[in-house]
Each structure stands twice: as C-alpha cells, then as structure tokens.
Amino acid sequence: MIKAAIAGGTGYTAGELLRILVNHPEVEICSVMSTTSAGRPVTDSHRDLLGETTLEFSDSLGEPDVIFLCLGHGLSKEFIDSHDIPAGCKIIDLGQDFRNEPDYKGRHFVYGLTDVFLPQIEGCDYLANPGCFATCIQLGLAPAAALKLTGSEIHVTAITGATGAGRKLSETSHFPYRNDNISVYKPFTHQHLTEICNTLEKLGGSRPTVNFVPMRGDFTRGIFASIYFRCDMPAEEANAIYKEYYKESPFVFVSDAPISLKEVVNTNKCLLHIESHNGRLHITAIIDNLLKGASGQAVENMNLMFGLERTTALKLKANAF
C-alpha cells in the first residue's frame, strides 16, 4: 500500500483528494495535516465523509511515500523547507510554486498535464499539478498547437464555479455576490497564463499571445472554456486530428455534439467540441475544476508516478441533472 499524506487538509482540493483516496485500493492515508484543526475529526471539515473515514487532522507528517501539498500559493516551498520529508517520498504540489519554476533545491518538478506530458510523469519523484483553468484551456489547444495551427493569437473566455476561489470566504465568493451573478476578474492577467503559454511554446515551437478573460459563475463547480483562433481547417478535419491525439487518453473525449458543463461535473473527464466559423476554429472545453482541474488529475499523476493503472479510483459518476 502507498502511504499518502495531505498537507492543508481542510480545503476544497484536500476534501476531493480524501474522497478519492479513501476508496483507492492501493492507498492508505497516513496523515491529513492542518495546523489549525489538529486533533479534530476530518469529518468536522468534510461532513460528507461521515461514515467513510475516522481519520483525524494531524500536525505531523508521519512517514509517507507521497505527500500532496494542498496549500495556498507560495506556501509549498515554505512547507518543504520547514519539514523533514522522508527520503524517497514523492511530492505532488497542487499549488503554483513549481509550475513555472520547476527546479528547487535539488528537486525537479515535472509539469503534470497527464494527457500531454505522460512519458515525463511516469515514475517521476516531484510533480507540479497544473492549474484548473490551465488544464481546461491547454487540453482544448494542445493538438492544434502541436500542429502549429493556432497562429500567433488565441482568444479564450472561460467561466469557473465558486469553488475555484477556494474555501476561504471573500467578498466575491460570498453567496449574496455570487448568486444570480456573473463577473469578470483578472482579464488578460490571470496567473495561469504563464503555464498555458509555456506548454503551447513547448508543443508548437513559438509563444502565442493568449487573450484570456476569466469569469466567475454562480454555480458551485466546473469550468467552461470558449476558445478560438484563426484557422481555415474544416471542423471535420480538426475533429479527426483531436480524436487521434487523445485516442489513448482514458479521460479526454471529443464530442461530435455540443457539450454542456454538467456532463463532466463530479468526473475526471475533459470533453471537447470543435466547430469552424468564417476562417476560425472554435473549441469548447469543459472540466470539473476540483477533479480534472485539481485533485482528480493529482491522483491520476500519483497513479502514473507509482506505476499503477492510470484510472485507478477515478471512474467517477457524472451528475447529468
């Protein structure tokens, strides 16, 4: 059994990790760390796990084989520096500390976009899990970028659920603000842009301009991205390219029919739909921001790092209505 520890155990991504790992046939959770909740039952924070686990939050790491860092941005380096991590312990960081700066004190963090960089992920020791918006947008663009179809400028508008803002309450995540409301935030400056452009440059050889406008939605979870760029390729041809690119993926699928967000909520899937309009390719991409966009992909990466079947514990039920 793989012994797994979770640091930052009270947040949304940690909760999703727990829901997956308590049912993972090859994993034993040895520690769920929280400096503010040590000694309390995990179910105090994650009420839906009542009856699923008797774990308590801890302030000690234990002797894990892998640790998931579910910490605020900038805190993963601090955690590594302040804790005696056992030799041979693998690290999966769900923050953004190592996505764009992968080398840190003798450790090299592989960028964990599973459907694009699988060979590098298999068997690695340190991994930077991609951001949620970044995962959705990159999966929508990777096949086109690899064939240099995207040109120099890409346009993206994407909307995310309230859980994308994290568990800590803020003015714009407060119910009176979110309910029956949509708003733009961080237009053209979102922190995921750098990792998106890094991947596109690796795949296509040049660094495009990505005009990304993120939006807050009045729903709980999920990301819906609308992506387009100039390209004269017919949709039928692009569909064939995308299906070939993702033919080995157990989680990314190209839909011939238009897609809607509920089709991926509570799953580790990404669905794509492609159309052509007046010399432009338009791609819609959807994921669950907490699963394929965070904890689900983290477990997918863990499976690959330990040589397990990639889909282990990730065959989850969708919410169609």
CATH number, position 8 = 3.40.50.720
Q: Name the pLDDT band for 165 (thresholds 50, 70, 90).
A: low
Per the structure, the count of domains in the chain is 2
Mean pLDDT within 245-256? 98
Q: Pick left, alpha or beta for residue 60 (phi over 0 → left; psi -120 to 50 → alpha; otherwise beta).
A: beta
Structural domain of residue 206, as residue ranges? 132-289
Q: Name the pLDDT band for 166 (thresholds 50, 70, 90).
A: low
| Domain contains 78 | yes
Task: Look up 132 and say whether it is catalytic.
Answer: yes
List, for residues 194-229, the tens digit of each pLDDT value. Answer: 999 999 999 999 999 999 999 999 999 999 999 999
Burial 194-232 (b: 16+ CB within 10 A, else e): bbbbbbbeebbeeebebebbbbbbebebbbbbebbbebe
Residue 49 DSSP code? G
Per-residue pLDDT at 176: 79
On whether both 88 and 143 belong to a single domain, the answer is: no
| Domain contains 316 | no
For 262, the token pair is 């509920």
On whether both 85 and 203 belong to a single domain, the answer is: no
Arithmetic mean of pLDDT over the chain: 95
In 213-253, which residue ranges form alpha helices assigned H by DSSP?
235-245
| Domain contains 157 | yes
Mean pLDDT within 6-16? 94
| Domain contains 311 | no
Q: Name the pLDDT band for 168 (thresholds 50, 70, 90).
A: low
On whether both 124 and 146 belong to a single domain, the answer is: no
On whether both 297 and 263 belong to a single domain, the answer is: no
On whether both 87 and 72 belong to a single domain, the answer is: yes
On whether both 121 and 192 belong to a single domain, the answer is: no
On whether both 277 and 140 belong to a single domain, the answer is: yes
* Residue 189 CB burial class (10 angstroms; 0-12, 13-18, ≥19): exposed
Is the pLDDT higher at 104 or at 319? 104
DSSP bridge pairs for 153: 209
For 204, the token pair is 């296509």
On whether both 267 and 257 belong to a single domain, the answer is: yes
**Worst-scoring range by mean pLDDT, 67-71, 125-129, 163-167?**
163-167
Residue 303: closest CA among 121, 111, 52: 121
Torsion of CA 33, 172, 263, 48, to 10 degrees: 40
Whether the Cβ atoms of residue 245 and residue 213 lie closer than 8 Å to each other: no
Mean pLDDT within 136-151? 97
For 308, the token pair is 């397990």
Torsion of CA 121, 122, 125, 129, to 10 degrees: 30
Count helices and strands in the chain by DSSP H and E runs: 8, 16
On whether both 102 and 136 belong to a single domain, the answer is: no
Q: Name the pLDDT band for 167 (thresholds 50, 70, 90).
A: low
Q: Per-residue pLDDT for 1 more than 90?
A: yes
Per-residue 3-state assignment (H helix, E strand, C coil) for 176-223 = HHHCCCCEECCCCCCCCHHHHHHHHHHHHCCCCEEEEEEEECCCCCCE
| Domain contains 320 | no
Share of the chain above pLDDT 70, in %: 98
Per DSSP bridges, beta strands 153-160 and 209-216 are parallel
Per DSSP bridges, beta strands 103-104 and 107-108 are antiparallel
pTM greater than 0.85? yes
For 284, the token pair is 């819609």
DSSP bridge pairs for 27: 2
Per-residue pLDDT at 169: 61
- Indicate which residue of 30, 70, 124, 132 is catalytic: 132
Q: What Cα–Cα distance (Å) separates residue 145 from each residue in 30, 140, 252, 267?
A: 41, 10, 17, 26
On whether both 114 and 22 belong to a single domain, the answer is: yes
- Crossing angle of helices 132-146 and 235-245, rounded to 10°: 110
On whether both 137 and 280 belong to a single domain, the answer is: yes
Neighbours of 185 (CB within 10 A): 13
Share of the chain above pLDDT 90, in %: 90
d(C-alpha 273, C-alpha 260), whole Å = 10
